[in-house]
Amino acid sequence: MISKEQTSNLIKLAVLILINLCIIFFAFYQIPEQTPAVMETVSQYGSKSSEVTKIQTRLKSWGYFSGPVTGYYGSQTTEAVKKFKKKHGLSATGVADQKTLSLIGISSSVPASSSSNSDFELLARIISAEARGEPYIGQVAVGAVVLNRVESSSFPDSISGVVYQPGAFTAITDGQIKEAVTESARRAAREALNGSDPTGGALYYYNPDKTSNKWIRSRPVITRIGQHLFCS
């Protein structure tokens, strides 16, 4: 017969073996890596890619787009996408999401460009700083001016280039660009990127109560929104 001492030793040995087996298992077992979720591809104002080239080419052949095929998603591409989406019963935004791309006949599995996100954040930030205290439509208007400059050959061809152009915006020189971005500025940035332009194509704006600059005051005024005059 097995004595109590032998039984105790066998139990201890079994526990020790079990512990060692657990250590070996966790030492060599690797948790399978999870494949990162692919973000939905979105081409929108400010995007630059071969996908945009395809969008422009297709929409041009169907009569929605009349501009040059450049691979840059500007205001003309935004308007063409809006017309296409409206024609096909989609919400007429200027964003080419997966559903829009599918209708156009473009398949894509490339993650959304981080540059588009950074453009959005910068546009929202300059709107928040430059149009603080202005009505919502006035905030959209400031965003539209930035985007109009991107489209103009007289200015840099990117949102960051326009925003940081020396002397272009007082919010850069006085540091207001660093302040917290308001939620309304984010909504205004999104609306401007979707093609809204309440300024009628303005390239400049100023507050007549706060500037005596003769050059800016000489610009032809298109409209007034809030405290700002918007000019060509």
Rounded to whole angstroms, how far apart are CA atoms 165 and 159? Answer: 10
3-class secondary structure for 71-83? CECCHHHHHHHHH
User: Residues 146-155, buried b or exposed e (16+ Cβ, 10 A)?
Assistant: bbbbbbeeeb
User: What DSSP element (H or E) covers 98?
Assistant: helix 98-104
- The proportion of the chain whose per-residue pLDDT surpasses 70, expressed as a percent, equals 79
Check residue 36 and give its pLDDT.
42
Q: No. of H helices and E strands in the chain?
A: 10, 3
Residues of the chain with CATH 1.10.10.2520: 114-231
Confidence of residue 99 (pLDDT cuts 50, 70, 90): confident
What pLDDT, in 10s, does the model give residues 110-120?
Answer: 444 445 677 88
| Beta-carbon contacts of residue 159 (< 8 Å; ≥ 6 apart) | 46, 119, 122, 123, 146, 147, 150
Tell me: pLDDT of 210 over 60. Answer: yes
How would residue 6 be classed by pLDDT, with cut points 50, 70 and 90?
Answer: low
What is the model's pLDDT at position 1?
58
Place of tokens 């959304």: 112
CATH assignment, 114-231: 1.10.10.2520
pLDDT score at 50: 84
Q: Are 207 and 142 in contact (CB under 8 A)?
A: no
- The helix/strand/coil state of 31 is coil
